[in-house]
Copies of this chain bind each other. A is one copy, B any other.
């Protein structure tokens, strides 16, 4: 096979930023890095791209390795390439972020990587530029979630509206009026009310809802405006 002359190849890694929501707290999944340098420091889950793999494929593989999950929300965030970002060897990192149902995960948790969930406010120092990547992912999620129903990806099959609202409140770090929130959410038509209630948080209980997956897909690209504009 012909080659481009005089070009210096570099390593290409794919790193995955994995968010989960346990019904109370938005969390980030990180691992203890298994290889030198900075072995045993906290790190995003990542890996080098395989010979016959495209970028999305590598991200899916890495996510599967760590969580056992297929078919989860995964989106390319950004490519990072500072020459010195990895002190060992020039490495470009293409970063993905993923939103998963933390309950699905915990059934298949894999201790091999010494993975741990951290509350977003308590994420430890990560290797290289990984903290910067997490920050960028949160910014992007805030951007996306204001217009598209991506946060549903974090919820279990059945969830309550207070859970959903609390998730939005955490992502935007702002209190949301529950009457207006419920009105918007129900107006979107994305939810299907169940007959059962979740009684774990109150005596009265909160109705469970399921996501209408068809409507979710159909409306994914439309702009929905879930977040109140600050009235200043």
Contacts and interface: CB of A to CB of B under 8 A. Distances in A.
A47 to B, nearest CB: 10
Given A1-B88, A88-B4, A94-B92, A81 B49 contact: yes
A78 to B, nearest CB: 6
A206 to B, nearest CB: 31
Nearest to A2: B88
A79 B51 contact: no
A12 B92 contact: yes
Contacts of A81: 12, 49, 54-55, 58, 94
Nearest to A92: B12
Contacts of A51: 8, 83, 90
A80 interface: yes
A131 interface: no
Contact of A12 (B10, B54, B223, B229): B10
Contact of A10 (B49, B82, B146, B223): B49
Interface string A141-175: 00000100000000000000000000000000000
Interface string A50-64: 011111001000000
Nearest to A37: B2
Given A2-B37, A7-B11, A10-B12, 13 more contacts: A1-B88, A1-B89, A4-B11, A9-B9, A9-B12, A10-B10, A49-B92, A54-B81, A54-B82, A54-B83, A55-B80, A76-B79, A79-B79
Interface of A: 1-4, 7-12, 35-37, 48-49, 51-55, 58, 76, 78-83, 88-92, 94, 146, 223, 229
